[in-house]
Amino acid sequence: MTFNQKFSLLKPFFGIDFEKAVRSAPRINELRNTVFHGREIDNAKFAGKSIAEETTIERIFLEAQEVIMNLDKFDEMIDAPHAYAERDAKRLSELESKRRGKRRGKRSSGSGTKRET
């Protein structure tokens, strides 16, 4: 899958909370393609500015950093229900174990008495 195909799958969900990152990611990818595929490196631009300018490099770095941090947050948001389910399953198991232990304790304390007939 290409970047654009992958991004088009994530964009509707990612864009809800991370609108700026949705705009930055394709621009960063376009610049990456220009530079790494050897097309017009001398004329490469980011957001309409030459990459030869220090302020443009700073902007690229900051936007890329923001996209990465937001992707990490997005990953956490996607994984949160699974993490909560694991936590809750563990807690339920602990409670069931305690409950079984209490039942066994009641049975064993009552089993030592003799019945009179």
In a domain, 93, yes or no: yes
pLDDT at 116: 52
Does residue 111 fall inside a structural domain? no
Q: In a 10 Å sphere around its CB, with 0-12 CB exposed, 13-18 middle and 19+ buried, how is residue 105 labelled?
A: exposed
pLDDT-based confidence at residue 113 (cuts at 50, 70, 90): low
Establish if 112 belongs to a structural domain.
Answer: no
Higher pLDDT, 89 or 11: 89
Residue 113 resides in a domain: no
Predicted confidence (pLDDT) per residue in 70-82, tens digit = 878 888 888 888 8
pLDDT confidence of residue 103 = 77
SS3 sequence of 18-62: CHHHHHHHHHHHHHHHHHHCCCCHHHCEECCEECCCHHHHHHHHH
- At 20-54, the pLDDT tens digits run 778 888 888 888 888 877 767 777 888 888 888 88
Please report whether residue 115 resides in a domain: no
Quote the number of domains for the chain: 1
pTM for the model:
0.50
Look at residue 77 and tell me if it is in a domain: yes
Question: 70 is in which domain, residue-wise?
Answer: 3-102
Residue at 114 is within a domain: no
Domain assignment of residue 108, yes or no: no
Mean pLDDT of 86-112: 80
